[in-house]
């Protein structure tokens, strides 16, 4: 566990170096942006990003793109079988340049993508964070299994959490939650299989650090919410008072976590 924290810390330092020392270019159009523009996006591209806005589910953050004038309301999943998360939000739709940035970071090792993506996380929190987090709150990335960490060389969610921590001044910890079971990559599985793939995959390694505290989970993409839900389940079993989640993006899928036969009519 110690070497994992050291490794993630070194990657965080690399991301910080890139953020501070290299010239800034807009992720959307490639034009140079002023050093004062900390988001990594020019104003035009920032305004054109596919932001997830109301109306949405106030609990899991699922948007309702087909009902643009309706008020915020619980989605069917959160009404019938809510995830253990108290609150979750995603910044933008998982499409276009944002999807390219996430894939470039995650599968191409393009670390310069971290600051612009972290700026989207910060914007999502600024737009819709619940009542101020208590002073004892902290954030943590969704952990990778040790085998996956060795394969990839870094945890993209950890790098995003480090960059976000510098922006919102909320401490980040890596020694509280562990992925104890190897699971198949979620992207290779069907919608239904994703829900069972991560069952029981996470465990809390420091219960005393969690008990009675609020935790903000950080990840790159919210798809079915099953991974974040399993993390929240483990944290709440260890005594966490509240578990929130923020992700960079979310596919605008209309598929449900609950079979149609079990939904109310």
- What is the Cα–Cα distance from 48 to 28, expressed in whole angstroms? 9
pLDDT at 206 over 70: yes
E-strand ranges in the chain read 87-93, 138-141, 177-179, 202-204, 214-221, 242-250
Question: Given pLDDT bands bounded at 50, 70 and 90, which one contains residue 138?
Answer: very high
Candidates 3.40.50.970, 3.40.50.2020, 3.30.1180.20, 1.20.1250.20; correct CATH number of 2-260?
3.40.50.2020
pLDDT tens per residue across span 12-63 = 555 555 555 555 789 999 998 876 677 889 999 999 999 999 999 999 999 9
- What is the Cα–Cα distance from 74 to 66, expressed in whole angstroms? 15
Mean pLDDT of the chain: 83
> What is the pLDDT averaged over residues 72-88?
93
- What is the Cα–Cα distance from 248 to 120, expressed in whole angstroms? 6
- What is the Cα–Cα distance from 54 to 63, expressed in whole angstroms? 7
Q: Is 104 helix (H, G, I), strand (E, B) or coil?
A: helix
Tokens, residue 248: 């960079």
Question: Given pLDDT bands bounded at 50, 70 and 90, which one contains residue 263?
Answer: very low
- Residue 110 vs residues 18, 43, 71, 99, 102: alpha-carbon distances, Å: 11, 23, 39, 13, 9
> What is the pLDDT averaged over residues 178-194?
63
Domain definitions of the chain by residue range: 2-260
Q: Is 120 helix (H, G, I), strand (E, B) or coil?
A: helix
Q: Alpha helix locations (H) across 180-225? A: 191-197, 207-210
């Amino acid at each position: 566990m110690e070497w994992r924290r050291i490794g993630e810390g070194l990657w965080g330092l690399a991301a910080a170096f890139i953020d501070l020392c290299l010239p800034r270019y807009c992720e959307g159009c490639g034009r140079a942006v002023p050093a004062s523009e900390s988001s990594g996006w020019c104003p035009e591209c920032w305004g054109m990003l596919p932001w997830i806005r109301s109306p949405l589910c106030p609990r899991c953050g699922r948007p309702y793109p087909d009902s643009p004038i309706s008020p915020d309301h619980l989605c069917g999943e959160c009404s019938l079988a809510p995830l253990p998360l108290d609150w979750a939000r995603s910044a933008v739709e998982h499409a276009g340049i944002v999807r390219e940035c996430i894939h470039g970071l995650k599968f191409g090792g393009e670390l310069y993508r971290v600051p612009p993506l972290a700026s989207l996380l910060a914007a999502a929190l600024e737009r819709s964070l619940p009542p101020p987090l208590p002073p004892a709150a902290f954030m943590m990335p969704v952990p990778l299994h040790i085998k996956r960490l060795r394969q990839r060389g870094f945890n993209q969610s950890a790098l995003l959490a480090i960059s976000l921590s510098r922006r919102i001044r909320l401490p980040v910890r890596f020694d509280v939650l562990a992925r104890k079971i190897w699971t198949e990559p979620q992207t290779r599985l069907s919608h239904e299989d994703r829900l069972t793939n991560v069952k029981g995959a996470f465990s809390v390694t420091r219960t005393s650090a969690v008990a009675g505290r609020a935790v903000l989970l950080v990840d790159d993409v919210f798809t079915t919410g099953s991974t974040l839900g399993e993390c929240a389940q483990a944290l709440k079993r260890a005594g966490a008072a509240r578990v929130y989640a923020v992700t960079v993006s979310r596919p605008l899928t209309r598929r449900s976590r609950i079979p149609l036969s079990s939904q109310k009519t």
